[in-house]
Each structure stands twice: as C-alpha cells, then as structure tokens.
C-alpha cells in the first residue's frame, strides 16, 4: 500500500495554501491559523495575490511564484478558480492536493461537469487529491491540522474517515471533553479522486491507528469496500455509521456530497459481511471507536459491574444482557473476597454495589484487583469513581465552614488511581468507566490522560463493552475464502437462458438451471396434453401440483393458475383443463412436497454493489415477516452459514418441535449456488426462490423465478 496517496497527504514536508489571508472571517484563514499554530514542523507557503505575509508567513503572489513544488497544496478558493489553480500546481510539480472548495457535484449538473474537469486535470498531471467539498485533514502524530477546529491533544489512537467534514473539523473540542483524541482524520468530501476506501486502506496500514471510524452517506464501490474492509476488520476494529438508508437521509446525502445511497438492509448485509460494527449515531462512532482503540480485547461475554449506586448498576447490567453480554453472579469465593470491602447492606453478587457509603479505595483498587485477577470475568465496568467534580460542587457552601481556597480544597480531594490505570494492561482485560461527571472531575481527567474510556451514561458504557465483544467475534471468524464452484455447467446454463423468449424465464427452465448448479428442485415435468399430464402425475405419484408454466404470467397463484394437493386423476383433469382453458401453454406437473417450514432465497442487484444474495423466511408471508439476511457475492461458506444464522427465526432450522433439523449444508449450498450464478450471468437481474420447502430436513426449491436485465 506504499502507493496510497494519503501517505504523503497526511505526512507532507511542505504545504502551500491558497485562500488564506489576514482576514479572520474567512474559512481559509482559520484553517491556516490552525495549521500554522498546531505544531506542524514543515514549510508553510501561503499564496495570496495582494498580501506580502499571511499570519506572519511569507506569502507568494501566485502559485508560479512558489520557490519549489510543495508536497501538498490546499485550495480554499472560489469554485471557478479551482481548475486553473490545480493546473498551476500540476505544472509546478505538486502531486497531492486537498480541495476544500465546495460547489461541485453536490450542486447539480454544472458542478458535476466542473468536478469531472478537475478530475481530468488531476489525471493529466498525476495529481491525487482529497475533495472537493471537504473540510481538511488531521494527523495528530505529525502533528498536522488543516481544519477549522484547533487540536486539543496529540498522538491519538482512533482514526476517522468521514463523508461529512463537520465530523472531522468541528468536533475536536467535543471529543476532547469526552477524552477522545483523534489520530488521523480525513474529510473525504465528494471523493472525486481519493475515496473512502483509499482512506480505509491507508488507515489499515497505519500502525498508530488502533481503530477506524467511518461516517458514510453512500459507498461508490461496495465490492472494493467489502474486499478491503473484511481483511482489515479481522485485525483492526472498524465502526461505522450509515445514514443514507432512509428517504430523507438519502436526499440529505445527495444534496451534501452527491453520495449515492442504498437501502438500509443492503448496508446491514455489507457491514455484517465486512466485519464492520454498525452504529446508529456519530456519538457511537467516536465513543465506541475510542473504546475499541484503547482497550484490550474482550475475549468472553462475562462482565463484572462495580458501582457506588444501584441505579447505574442496574442500567449497565440490563444493557449488557440486552446486548448479548453476561453479568454472571460471582462464585462464593469472589463474593467473600469482595464482601470484605463492602458496607453491611451492600451486594457482592454482581453488580457489586458499594452504595453511597463510598470507600473510594475499594472502588478504585481493592475490588477491581479481585475482579481483574478472576477468571470468572472477561471485562469490567465501574461507575461512581469521582473526587473534585462532586466535592468541588460543595465548595461554595463549605467555604463558610472551612478555611481553605477552592484550589487547596480540590487538591486535598484528589484521589490516586495509579493501580487501577495499570490493570487493563496487566490483566489484558478491558476497563470502561461510567460517570455523570466530565473533565471538571480530576478522576475523569486522569482516565482521559491514560486512555481509559469514560461514558456519561451507564447504558452507553455497556453498549461500548458489547462492541468490544463484537470485535472479538469478528477476529475469530473462520476463513473467508470464497467458495467458487466448478463451472463446466456454465455453457449448458447459458443455453437455457438463451432459449428464453422473454425477460422472465419460466419456472421449469429456471429450475433446470438451478439443478445444473446442484440445487435440489421438485421432481417435475412439462405436459402439453392432458394425457401427458396424467402419465406424469402417475409416475411422480399423487398428490401432485399443477401449475401454468408461462414466463408471461406473473402472480400465478393469485390468478388461479396453481393447483396444489391434487389427489387423483379426476382432480388433475379439472386442474389441467382450467389452466389451459385461457392459456395456450404447457402445464408443469410437480411432486407435492409436505413441509411445515418454508424459506426463500434470491439474487438482487443494486447500483454500485456486487450481486446481493438474500435468504429468509419464505412462503406467502415473506414480505410481512420481513425476516431475511443479505450478503454480497462471491459468498464464502462462512458467509452462507452466517446468513442462515442471521435470521430471527433461525430456531426453526434446528430440530424444532418434532421436525427434523434442516440440512444446513444443502441450504448453504443453495446460497453459494446463487452467488455463483450471479457471477456467471451478469445479465440475470433477479432470482426469486420461494418457497424452498423443507421436506423432512431436505431443502427443495418448489418455485423459482428468474428475471433477466
């Protein structure tokens, strides 16, 4: 990945900026103000037509006046000037740029044209650039800050790539208040040249980046995103928010960066398959990202909760449970050890509740030591550690009774937490802190300085712990190798498709194609005449099904063109005559399967995405039950198995009541076959297998529809 353009963009030794002046009311000036004061050690070369100096740095009248080609050029200029200036930098020899300027694709056709134009200019000169319509970059390790918000701390561990500039440029102080320090942060803007997948690759390779946060309005190339993310996520946690999955979210995104959104369920599948931890808020991108970046992995589900109060303990406990974590009652031994430090009426069962009669030493050292050392638990959450934040509030009252300045009073109140700070590292277990106090409390500041995440609500702390476990599970995933099928069958399948006389392939031929890929379908044949139908039915054995077999007739059930459970010759005769009365068509005579469980599977295509494979509850209520999972082709066997396990009603796949367990391998094979078919035939728009009936454990496709593009 040494050719990733971000290597240089994030680590330039010289930067030229056009659009900064000495007028602090312009954005370019504020960005340069931050750049010039952030501690950046490289050369700064502002360009300005009139000013001799900009913020005390020598300014150059024109790009062509620059003494050498800077590693990085930053443009914060009127839209119409961008193409020319990009050419100027190109001629000079600069190969990396950040285009802050907006007014391109996000504004409509004219802007799109201009964006294409600067793309062409960049290609001509071999320039790689971020933006346009972005808000800059941060590298707190260099340091380097080309955003409107001043850096509050250096050497962070969480890196971000964002399709909203605000989340890079405008939240630095918010993050500081929450103890979060960014490492690298990249506002990608319209992604005309460098996209969010480039960022992901760059951050994956960046050693000081311990976790990656993404804010996404729409992914352009989901296939490449998936390929990269699924490799990265096995070693480095990725947490992402996607906002384009609703009508209003999609509209907002397209106004904003011209992002191409897709339905929420597609992104659910994409993120699941990629091993990305999906969250619903930007707060979670930051805070859960920070927990992932700073804490040892949570290697099991068992969480200890230690508090000075029952309410937060209950909130943490119940949120752990609802997010798949356990809060096991401690063994007698641990309860006894912990009990030594508790007042008489407090509980040592887990949550441990010290009650308000606080022994701070017990809360910050003695009990944590017991819990960290115990093999009964995998991670620890503590609520209630506090000193100056709480006690400082009382000072205005206390000063009437004490002879002490607020400073001395606070100093006296500060507690030591050295032993606790070391425990996560020593025992290789995560520690998360819940507190209603912020940096006004000395303990919180100490936690922040030592990279222990703090959360201002009990429930958020528990949700972050659950994300740590989710990451652990992702790292444990078995091989993700794609299961490509042997393909002597392609030409035979092609000939079936070629014979089709309409966009829709009839059921008989659709099933024949599936059979070629090893998918089990109902035993059946076509009858042109009643005699053929009777012969077929007798051969298959009653009861049988009779259905119209015409690509032109959709919704055949609703149209009365499907007869099920036909018991004998008489009934078959009636069915055949009824179907053929109004249609000059052949009739499909199929075996009639008995099975209480019905599933569905299919292929759908979405712009910008690899073929999507679906699996879910089938039958007549498929849409209403809305219980399905989705993954992108090519599927690995692991993907297919996970799809099966992802539906809510998965219990019925096992031995359910008196039913035989579903043959999971056969079910997974159907999904892998669909993946292969989707890759083999890009002209197939959609496949719908519904129902797949479970016949004493064996999944059999009872109806199939293929629609060509």
- Backbone φ/ψ region at 538: left (φ over 0), alpha (ψ -120 to 50), beta: alpha
Closest separation between CB of residue 603 and a copy of itself, Å? Answer: 23
Among 71, 106, 195, 639, binds a copy of itself (CB under 8 A): 106
Q: Compare residues 6 and 261 and give the one whose CB is closer to a copy of itself.
A: 261
Q: Which of 599, 553, 623, 626 has its CA nearest to residue 692?
A: 599
Whole-number Å distance between alpha carbons of 469 and 613: 27
Among 376, 459, 535, 680, binds a copy of itself (CB under 8 A): 459
Contacts 24+ apart (CB under 8 A), 609-615: 609/222, 609/223, 609/262, 609/266, 609/270, 610/222, 610/223, 610/226, 610/634, 611/675, 611/678, 611/679, 612/266, 612/269, 613/643, 613/671, 613/674, 613/675, 613/678, 615/643, 615/644, 615/647, 615/667, 615/671
Stretch binding a copy of itself (CB under 8 A), from 41-49, 199-207, 575-583, 619-627: 619-627
Q: Does 347 bind a copy of itself (CB under 8 A)?
A: yes
Site residue total, a copy of itself (CB under 8 A): 117
Give the span between the Cα atoms of 464 and 453, in whole angstroms.
10
Specify the residue, 598 or 642, whose C-beta has the smaller distance to a copy of itself.
598
666 contributes a contact to a copy of itself by CB under 8 A: no
Q: Which is nearer to a copy of itself, 17 or 282 (CB)?
A: 282
3-state secondary structure of 277: strand
Is 393 a binding residue for a copy of itself by CB under 8 A? The answer is: yes
- The secondary structure element, H or E, covering residue 222 is helix 222-232
SS3 600: strand
Q: Residue 242 class from Cβ within 10 Å (0-12 exposed, 13-18 middle, 19+ buried)?
A: buried
For residue 314, list its beta bridge partners. none
User: Residue from 15, 72, 74, 102 that binds a copy of itself (CB under 8 A)?
Assistant: 102
Cβ atoms of 378 and 299 closer than 8 Å: yes
Report 222-261 residues binding a copy of itself (CB under 8 A).
Answer: 241, 243-249, 251-253, 255-257
Q: Within 52-91, which residues bind a copy of itself (CB under 8 A)? A: 55-56, 79
Q: Are the beta carbons of 15 and 74 closer than 8 angstroms?
A: yes
Dihedral of the CA atoms 23, 29, 34, 36 (nearest 10)? -90
Task: State which of positions 270-289 bind a copy of itself (CB under 8 A).
Answer: 280-283
Q: Are 50 and 22 in contact (CB under 8 A)?
A: no
What residues from 125 to 154 belong to the interface with a copy of itself (CB under 8 A)? 133, 135, 148-150
Residue span 301-340 as binding mask against a copy of itself, x where in contact by CB under 8 A, dash where not: ----x--xxxxxxxx-xxxxxx---xx-x-----------
Within 494-553, the residues that bind a copy of itself by CB under 8 A are none
Q: Which stretch binds a copy of itself (CB under 8 A): 33-41, 291-299, 541-549, 629-637?
A: 33-41
Examine residue 215 and tell whether it contacts a copy of itself (CB under 8 A).
Answer: yes
Smallest gap from residue 217 Cβ to a copy of itself (A): 6
Binding mask 567-596 for a copy of itself (x = CB under 8 A): x----------------------------x
Residues 354-373 that bind a copy of itself (CB under 8 A): 355-357
> What do you get for the CA distance between the two ends of the chain, in Å?
37
One of 438, 518, 543, 697 touching a copy of itself (CB under 8 A): 438
Stretch that binds a copy of itself, among 60-68, 433-441, 522-530, 694-702 (CB under 8 A): 433-441
- Is 407 a residue that touches a copy of itself (CB under 8 A)? no
For residues 357 and 365, what is the distance between their CA atoms, to the nearest angstrom? 16
- Nearest distance, CB of residue 249 and a copy of itself, angstroms: 3
Q: How far is the CB of 14 from a copy of itself (least distance, A)?
A: 21
Give the three-state DSSP class for 573.
helix
Asked if 563 interacts with a copy of itself (CB under 8 A), we say no
Given 28, 165, 551, 602, the residue binding a copy of itself (CB under 8 A): 165
Does the protein bind a copy of itself through residue 460 (CB under 8 A)? yes
Complex with a copy of itself: residue 235 or 620, whichever CB lies closer: 620
Packed helices 490-498 and 664-680: angle between N→C axes, nearest 10 degrees = 70
554 binds a copy of itself (CB under 8 A): no
């Amino acid at each position: 990945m040494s050719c990733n353009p971000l290597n240089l963009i994030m680590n330039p030794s010289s930067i030229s900026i056009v659009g900064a002046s000495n007028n602090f009311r312009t954005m370019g000036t504020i960005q340069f103000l931050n750049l010039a004061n952030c501690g950046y050690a490289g050369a700064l070369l502002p360009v300005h037509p009139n000013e001799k100096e900009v913020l005390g740095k020598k300014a150059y009248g024109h790009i062509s006046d620059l003494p050498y080609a800077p590693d990085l050029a930053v443009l914060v200029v009127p839209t119409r000037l961008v193409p020319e200036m990009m050419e100027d930098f190109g001629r000079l020899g600069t190969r990396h740029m950040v285009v802050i300027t907006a007014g391109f694709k996000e504004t409509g056709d004219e802007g799109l044209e201009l964006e294409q134009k600067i793309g062409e200019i960049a290609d001509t000169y071999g320039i790689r650039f971020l933006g346009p319509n972005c808000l800059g970059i941060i590298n707190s390790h260099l340091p380097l800050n080309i955003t409107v918000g001043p850096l509050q701390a250096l050497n962070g561990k969480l890196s971000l790539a964002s399709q909203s500039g605000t989340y890079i440029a405008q939240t630095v102080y918010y993050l500081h208040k929450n103890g979060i320090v960014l490492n690298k942060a990249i506002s990608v803007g319209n992604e005309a040249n460098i996209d969010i997948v480039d960022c992901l690759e760059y951050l994956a390779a960046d050693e000081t980046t311990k976790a990656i946060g993404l804010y996404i309005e729409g992914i352009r190339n989901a296939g490449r995103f998936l390929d990269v993310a699924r490799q990265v996520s096995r070693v480095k946690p990725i947490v992402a928010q996607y906002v384009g999955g609703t009508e209003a979210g999609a509209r907002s995104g397209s106004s904003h960066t011209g992002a191409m959104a897709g339905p929420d369920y597609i992104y659910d599948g994409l993120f699941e398959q990629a091993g990305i931890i999906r969250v619903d808020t930007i707060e979670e991108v930051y805070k859960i990202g920070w927990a992932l970046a700073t804490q040892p992995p949570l290697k099991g589900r068992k969480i200890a909760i230690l508090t000075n109060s029952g309410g937060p303990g209950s909130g943490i406990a119940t949120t752990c449970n609802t997010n798949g974590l356990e809060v096991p009652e401690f063994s007698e031994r641990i309860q006894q050890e912990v009990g030594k430090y508790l007042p008489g009426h407090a509980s040592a069962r887990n949550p441990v509740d010290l009650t308000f009669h606080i022994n701070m030493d017990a809360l910050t050292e003695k009990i944590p030591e017991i819990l960290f050392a115990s093999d009964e638990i995998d991670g620890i959450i503590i609520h209630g550690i506090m000193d100056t934040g709480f006690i400082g509030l009382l000072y205005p009252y206390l000063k009437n009774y004490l002879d002490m300045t607020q400073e001395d009073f606070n100093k006296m109140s500060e507690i030591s937490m050295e032993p606790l700070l070391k425990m996560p590292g020593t025992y290789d277990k995560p520690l998360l802190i819940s507190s209603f106090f912020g940096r006004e409390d000395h303990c919180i500041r100490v936690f922040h300085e030592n990279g222990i995440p703090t959360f201002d609500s009990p429930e958020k702390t528990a949700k972050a712990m659950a994300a740590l476990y989710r990451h652990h599970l992702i790292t444990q995933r078995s091989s993700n190798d794609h299961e490509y099928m042997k393909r002597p069958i392609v030409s035979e399948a092609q000939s079936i498709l070629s014979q089709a006389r309409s966009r829709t392939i009839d059921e008989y031929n659709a099933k024949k194609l599936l059979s070629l890929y090893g998918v089990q379908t109902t035993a059946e044949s076509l009858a042109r005449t009643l005699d053929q139908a009777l012969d077929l039915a007798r051969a298959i054995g009653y009861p049988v099904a009779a259905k119209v077999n015409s690509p032109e007739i959709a919704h055949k059930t609703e149209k009365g063109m499907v007869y099920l459970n036909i018991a004998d010759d008489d009934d078959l005769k009636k069915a055949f005559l009824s179907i053929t009365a109004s249609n000059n068509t052949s009739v499909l005579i199929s075996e009639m399967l008995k099975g209480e469980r019905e599933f569905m599977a299919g292929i759908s295509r979405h712009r910008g995405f690899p073929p999507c494979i679906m699996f879910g509850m089938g039958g007549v209520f498929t849409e209403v039950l809305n219980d399905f999972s989705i993954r992108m082709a090519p599927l690995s066997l692991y993907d297919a198995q996970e799809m099966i396990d992802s539906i809510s009603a998965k219990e019925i796949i096992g031995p359910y009541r008196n039913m035989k367990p579903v043959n999971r391998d056969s079910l997974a094979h159907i999904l892998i076959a669909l993946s292969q078919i989707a890759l083999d035939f890009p002209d197939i728009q959609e496949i719908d297998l519904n129902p797949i009936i479970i016949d004493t454990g064996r999944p059999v496709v009872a109806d199939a529809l293929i629609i060509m593009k």
